[in-house]
Copies of this chain bind each other. A is one copy, B any other.
């Protein structure tokens, strides 16, 4: 069956390496008979800031405006703004979502953070019952594809920036896995601006190759909900602690399933 792909793309310039990586994904995936939609956030002038204007009509409590509760209510009643509703439609239809961006300050640029803040609303993207391995998007795959300014060695466990898995934890676990997405390994383009033209071409060629089999990749491992006591404290059950320490380490190590272990003192 035809697969649907959404690319959420955040770079200001069509001449950028990020643009080339996005174009490669569009081409390869279309050739594989996927239908591909691109949300080009800068071109769309996508609103980044979460405000009461995201709700059509009256808010429930303007004196004490609470974004999550107000957007939950608006979503229930079909009163989210048109731009949010449109992104939610694209996301709901997608089998795979690729986020293509340059890393800004160890995470996504503000315009993409705004997409997460405004599109992944309570009710639509998660509830207290439906999150992590019980999450709403558990049938959807998601992938962070990004360029860095730093060289790879700086982001190693002994590098000055620390392990990239730690840096990606809030994005991969806190946003994507939290909403249930099957998180594919990140596609990291290390410092393309410092690379020679051949180096950049080689990075794009590797991405092209990976794109061929992307839809069949196995997602990263995250400790499932039933390893935790989800009635009360959301702590690892005693019998799971042992599994985590032996197999993956805790927290960052647990869920990334590779590279590093985190143990408590």
Binding site for B on A (CB under 8 A): 12-13, 15-16, 42, 45-46, 48-52, 63-68, 104-111, 113-114, 116-118, 120, 132, 149, 151, 153-154, 156-163, 166-167, 169-171, 173-175, 178, 193, 223, 225, 228, 230, 233-236, 241, 250-255, 259-265
In this complex, the member of A157, A255, A264 whose beta carbon has the largest number of chain B beta carbons within 10 angstroms is: A157
Shortest Cβ gap from A52 to chain B (Å): 7
Contacts of A67 in B (CB 8 A): 12
Q: Can you name 14 A-B pairs with beta carbons within 8 Å?
A: A16-B66, A45-B49, A50-B109, A106-B169, A110-B114, A132-B160, A153-B234, A159-B235, A160-B235, A161-B174, A161-B234, A162-B251, A167-B174, A253-B262
* Residues B15 and A64 in contact, CB atoms below 8 Å apart: yes
Instruction: Find A252's partner among B116, B162, B234, B264 (CB 8 Å cutoff).
Output: B162
Q: Check A174 against B105 for contact (C-beta < 8 Å).
A: yes
Q: Which residue of B lies closest to A156 (CB)?
A: B235
Using Cβ atoms and an 8 Å threshold, which residues of chain B touch A225?
160
